[in-house]
Amino acid sequence: MLNVALPKGRLGNKAYKLFEKIGFDCNEMLDDSRKLVFENKEKGIRYFLVKPSDVPVYVLHGAADVGVVGKDILLESNASVYELLDLGFGKCKICVAAHKDFHDNTNTTLRVATKFLNIASNYYNSINRNIEIIKLNGSIELAPITGLSDVIVDIVETGNTLMENNLKIIHEIIPISARLIANKSSFQFKNDIIEKLKKSCEEALNDKNI
Ligand code: PRP
């Protein structure tokens, strides 16, 4: 059995559609249920539905052999797993954004609101900028509007949330998309099936007819 951790939600649905196309279908997945484990014994596949930020945890500890996760979560987790493939969907970017009228005063400590603590710290370390991180869990855009922070480090997809809240992009830190990841031991011991999965995904993503 190959154990696959999929993130609950849109990204997980897209990933499952891809796996279904390459022969790792599992009809149970299409049922509207509260189940978290779905398997197709014939195809030798078992899917776990997990919270997106927990995908690297399941894969790191080998509870799942492979997983699908956004590059943002992967970077933030710092998990020692193999990143096998850029799946190309779930595209967005991690940006620094601030109020439209914001001007940086480099003599002061910059207050940065974010849920991406590592990504934000690494970025500001790389440019030697003194910051104070304010950890939030959501609605990050509210921080500069209310005066809680000077800037935010957050996901930008369409840009609508920024626009509707009078915020602007100051800097694009990194482009993001979904990645196929593997547990390091699983990659060794289940190499044939994991390589097959990777190759089939690559072919399916390249084939515009699929
Ligand atoms: C994400 C992100 C931004 C928004 C960006 O939030 O944190 O707020 O999407 O998307 P856009 O550029 O298309 O407007 P999410 O909806 O995940 O909710 P959150 O505020 O709880 O993080």
Per-residue pLDDT reduced to its tens digit, 70-111: 999 999 999 999 999 999 999 999 999 999 999 999 999 999
Q: For residue 154, give the nearest of 164, 166, 167, 146 by alpha carbon.
A: 167
Tell me the residue type at 53: S
Pocket test for ligand 1, best of 116, 139, 157 (most atoms within 8 A of CB): 157
140 CB less than 6 Å from ligand 1?
yes
**Could you tell me if residue 164 is left (phi over 0), alpha (psi between -120 and 50 degrees) or otherwise beta?**
alpha
The C-alpha atoms of residue 103 and residue 87 are separated, in whole angstroms, by 37
Mutate which of 135, 155, 162, 169 for ligand 1? The one with the most ligand atoms within 8 Å of its CB, which is 155
- pLDDT tens digits, one per residue of 127-163: 999 999 999 999 999 999 999 999 999 999 999 999 9
Between the CA of 61 and the centroid of ligand 1 the distance, in Å, is 29
Ligand 1 centroid–CA 168 distance in Å is 14
C-alpha–C-alpha distance, residues 210 and 197, integer Å: 16
